């Protein structure tokens, strides 16, 4: 595959504003502009930003403006990644207030002044609608902050923007193109622009990879954090369901949904998790987190964290791509070299588990979405899924590329007291937990499980849809247990990741393992925005 290299990431922002990309990928119209100082935000970490604030080398306002410049130059112009739906009009005002606090000697903690992008299914009281990518919600403004937004705000983060996503978190159509929404169109992969970013947290993954923010928040029901992290060469953590509140997040599944941090390093993700975790009376799942919450997850990061660990390599989650398998073999060899013991194991057959999970999601999607619409009050554009289906039939965008079969199937389901629902829920949890992850870890005396996260990014195709070949997200997602993906290497120009997952509430252990792997391998590298011929 021949590619033309348009390495916009290496150009300063004052040059990027002058770029215009032609359809063949070349760069034209580059007039001379007087050089001026530019804050280099590419690949900068949370710790480096915090040190810059403390040393007075730059302000929160400088950083927010710098990221806004990058969004304009890279996301909306240049390679046109289309990862950001809206920039917060109040971002600079918030930054100025946080600068004043720092000047007065007050800091809210490690996230003070960190610009964060939210996936656009997470409610925020900032003057930006929450759309879940759907045109029906194009002008829907949340009546209150989600718990996630409130905790980030309290921790001193700047909610910088809302990210594009797979519409309705990719639970709408019989097939789809990940990263496409009726509101935002198609998000592009920053490594090779005609490749897919995966989803549904597509814009969150791309924005982090392209250094358009310090951190992003995604959500996952099954793969929606770890897959875009895989395709975009970043770190993504899907927490245990209940560690992070889902209040104010457009739902799919009460049993499987969770928000989680996405960043360029394990340390950044660990720092962010400390601000997100917490009990919320409005989310019953979080009550089980009592005693399992840590305000500081960065304290668990150890460079020698692999020593003495016993890890189960999931052989039944390999074999779908020989070059991914080759990278996994290299990863396993590295794990062993760092003092870990790696044993091959086979997990449960996922087909029946996934079918039960699908039935649960249909019931819970209808129930949860109807409740979300009701929570919007009189401003809700539709009252329920039935009205949503009718809206989409009349909309010129929504059914242009994809159907709404999953919405229709959800509407056909009854209430959550249905015997079919209760049976499927019990069966999926037993298979994924008692006879799945818990059994594997106990039988083989394992600390955690490991598998390749997925394949390299496929070419985006709105006519045929996504071309998945394999992934490892389902078992942890259906169990409601934590998983973290870290860059494992590259296949040609495309990144792939390795996932570590384990018992409920084992985030400290998984972060320790992932950090030691990351620090010893350093596979992460910035995208170059390649264009296929």
Token code pair at residue 372: 């979300």
Q: Which of 374, 396, 382 is nearest to 137 (CA)?
A: 382
Q: Where are the alpha helices (DSSP H) in 210-278?
A: 226-231, 266-276
53/99 Cα distance (integer angstroms): 9
Token code pair at residue 165: 């996503």
42/11 Cα distance (integer angstroms): 10
- Residue 17: how many CB atoms within 10 A of its CB? 13
Q: Which of 338, 500, 360, 347 is nearest to 416 (CA)?
A: 360
75/17 Cα distance (integer angstroms): 11
310/441 Cα distance (integer angstroms): 10
String of DSSP letters for 286-321 = GGGGTT---S-SGGG--TTTTTT-EEEEEGGG--S-
475/432 Cα distance (integer angstroms): 6
Q: Dihedrals φ, ψ of 180, to 5°?
A: -100, 135
What residues act catalytically?
A: 119, 200, 224
Q: Which of 515, 527, 530 is nearest to 235 (CA)?
A: 515
């Amino acid at each position: 595959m021949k590619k033309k290299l348009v390495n916009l990431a290496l150009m300063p922002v004052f040059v990027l504003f002058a770029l215009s990309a032609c359809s063949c990928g070349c760069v034209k119209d580059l007039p001379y502009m007087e050089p001026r100082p530019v804050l280099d935000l590419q690949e900068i970490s949370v710790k480096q930003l915090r040190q810059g604030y403390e040393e007075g080398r730059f302000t929160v306002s400088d950083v927010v403006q710098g990221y806004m410049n990058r969004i304009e130059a890279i996301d909306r112009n240049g390679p046109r990644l289309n990862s950001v739906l809206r920039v917060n009009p109040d971002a600079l005002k918030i930054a100025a207030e946080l600068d004043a606090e720092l000047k007065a000697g007050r800091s809210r903690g490690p996230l003070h002044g960190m610009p964060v992008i939210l996936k656009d299914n997470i409610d925020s009281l900032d003057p930006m609608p929450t759309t879940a990518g759907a045109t029906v919600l194009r002008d829907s403004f949340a009546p209150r902050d989600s718990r996630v937004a409130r905790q980030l705000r309290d921790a001193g983060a700047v909610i910088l923007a809302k990210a594009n996503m797979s519409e309705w978190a990719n639970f709408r159509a019989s097939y789809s193109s990940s990263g496409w929404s009726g509101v935002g169109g198609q998000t592009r992969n920053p490594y090779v622009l005609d490749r897919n970013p995966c989803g549904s947290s597509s814009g969150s993954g791309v924005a982090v990879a392209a250094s358009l923010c310090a951190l992003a928040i995604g959500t996952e029901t099954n793969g929606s954090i770890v897959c875009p992290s895989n395709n975009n060469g970043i770190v993504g953590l899907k927490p245990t369901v209940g560690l992070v509140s889902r209040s104010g997040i457009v739902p799919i599944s009460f049993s499987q949904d969770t928000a989680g941090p996405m960043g360029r390093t394990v340390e950044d993700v660990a720092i962010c998790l400390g601000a997100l975790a917490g009990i919320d009376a409005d989310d019953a799942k979080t009550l089980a987190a009592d005693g399992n919450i840590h305000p500081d997850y960065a304290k668990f990061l150890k460079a020698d964290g692999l020593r003495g660990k016993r890890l189960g390599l999931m052989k039944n989650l390999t074999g779908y791509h020989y070059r991914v398998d080759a990278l996994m073999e290299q990863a396993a060899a590295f794990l062993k070299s760092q003092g870990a013991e790696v044993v091959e194991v086979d997990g449960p057959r996922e087909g029946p588990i996934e079918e039960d999970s699908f039935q649960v999601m249909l019931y819970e999607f209808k129930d949860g979405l109807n409740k979300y619409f009701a929570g919007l009050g009189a401003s809700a554009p539709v009252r329920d899924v039935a009205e949503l289906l009718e809206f989409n039939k009349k909309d010129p965008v929504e059914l242009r590329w994809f159907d709404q079969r999953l919405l229709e199937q959800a509407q056909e389901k009854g209430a959550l007291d249905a015997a079919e629902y209760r049976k499927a829920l019990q069966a999926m949890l037993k298979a994924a937990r008692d006879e799945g992850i818990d059994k594997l870890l106990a039988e083989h005396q394992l600390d955690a499980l490991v598998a390749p996260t997925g394949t390299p990014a496929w070419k985006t195709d709105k006519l045929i849809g996504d071309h998945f070949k394999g992934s490892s997200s389902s078992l942890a997602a259906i169990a409601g247990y934590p998983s973290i993906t870290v860059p494992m290497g590259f296949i040609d120009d495309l990144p792939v990741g390795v996932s570590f997952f384990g018992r409920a509430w084992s985030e400290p252990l998984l972060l320790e393992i992932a950090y030691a792997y990351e620090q010893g391998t350093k596979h992460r590298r910035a995208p170059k925005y390649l264009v296929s011929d």
